[in-house]
Amino acid sequence: MMSFTMYSTPWCGYCHRLKSQLDREGIAFDVVDIEQDPTAAQIVESVNNGNQTVPTLVFADGTAQTNPSLVQVKDKLAALAG
């Protein structure tokens, strides 16, 4: 299965909710705290018009989703799996 990175912050409620949903579905992903990693913050800004909007997910194909629903993430992973 394709993996992805979730850019997050410890205080982001939307991030916690999506992480819980993904965990329940058994979907593997990496988490990067943009407050601890300036490079990660720059990645998030680059796909969100300069904003540090989280959760931002970046997939293996280089595409990104900002604050996606569980269904959007599952659809993207299915498309990548082809």
Domains and CATH numbers, the chain: 4-81 (3.40.30.10)
Q: For residue range 67-79, list pLDDT tens digits in order.
A: 999 999 999 999 9
Indicate the burial class of 30 (C-beta count within 10 angstroms; 0-12, 13-18, 19 or more). exposed
Q: What span, in angstroms and rounded, lies between the C-alpha atoms of 47 and 58?
A: 9
Q: For residue range 19-42, list pLDDT tens digits in order.
A: 999 999 999 999 999 999 999 999
Q: What is the mean pLDDT of the chain?
A: 95
